[in-house]
Amino acid sequence: MIQECFRHVRGIGPKTASLLNERGFASWDDCLGREQELPFNGGRRKRFIQEMRLSREALQKNDIGYFISAFPKAEHWRILARYFNSATFVDVETTGLSRYFNHATVITAFHNRAIHTFRYGENLDEFLILADDAELLATFNGNCFDIPFLEKTFNVPSINCPHIDLRWIAWHRGYSGGLKYIERGMGMRRPAFLDGIDGFEAVGLFHQWQVGDAGAGETLARYCAADTIATYLVAERLLVEAGCRIELSDPKEMYTLIS
């Protein structure tokens, strides 16, 4: 589906994209195979053809960063659909909301079909090794929260991996609100042992853990992992709604990864 997007080309909006489809241009290859039939003239046609060639070349090179920069956020679902099976889903818990005064406490990643947990004071820095191995990071609200906190925590200018924020994919599909709200709206429920835990409670769990309550630390890690799993489950359902052929995971089965 990524090759069916034309809206990353300057001057191509929904109406022009629909016109191209009506005239039988369903993909970049269609456009490059019938250049003289494109409904553009002169310099506009030249620029459009150039962008089609750049897009095809980026796809051949798996240059995901190119598509994230070029595609409008309303079309980011196409990128996620293309690389869904190799995407790494990430969630970050912190000591507070300020990226300037607070830091990450637990990071979890659903990577290669397994949950990976990184804890403050133990192995937090090892997340950077996983990020180097990842092809694409996916978060919920990561542009505003997770990614800036990771950059601050590790004192790096940027995380060296392309990133997609599911919050905006959800918003363009008609879903607003936080991850848990959307998850419940899709009919999914978390394990009972996580009832009542939210981001505020997670801060308290961290402080309990730091003064010797190992159980609080384990609960915090499982809560973070639940957010990661929820991000994955919501992503599946958003892509199915967009017309992708994905076999939906059973939430109960997915949550056995942290039970």
pLDDT value at position 99?
81
Same domain, 117 and 184: yes
Question: Is residue 86 situated within a structural domain?
Answer: yes
Count CA atoms within 13 Å of residue 119 on its CB side: 15
Same domain, 233 and 140: yes
Same domain, 27 and 139: no
Same domain, 121 and 245: yes
pLDDT value at position 198?
85
pLDDT value at position 231?
98
Using CA atoms, how far residue 235 sits from 77, 153, 231, 254, in Å, is 9, 26, 6, 14
What does pLDDT average to in each consecutive run of 10 residues of the chain (259 residues)? 93 93 95 93 91 96 96 96 97 91 96 97 97 97 96 93 97 96 95 85 94 96 97 98 95 93
pLDDT value at position 41?
87
Same domain, 172 and 239: yes
Task: Report the CATH number at residue 8.
Answer: 1.10.150
Q: How many domains does the chain have?
A: 2
Reported as a single tens digit per residue, the pLDDT across 113-133 is: 999 999 999 999 999 999 999
pLDDT value at position 199?
85
Per-residue HEC secondary structure of the chain comes to CHHHCCCCCCCCCHHHHHHHHHCCCCCHHHHHHCHHHCCCCHHHHHHHHHHHHHHHHHHHCCCHHHHHHHCCHHHHHHHHHHCHHHEEEEEEEECCCCCCCCCEEEEEEEECCEEEEEECCCCHHHHHHHHHHCCEEEECCCCCCHHHHHHHHHCCCCCCCCEEEHHHHHHHCCCCCCHHHHHHHCCCCCCHHHCCCCHHHHHHHHHHHHCCCHHHHHHHHHHHHHHHHHHHHHHHHHHHHCCCCCCCCCHHHHHCCCC
Domain extent at residue 119: 81-255
pLDDT value at position 236?
98
Same domain, 141 and 54: no
pLDDT value at position 205?
95
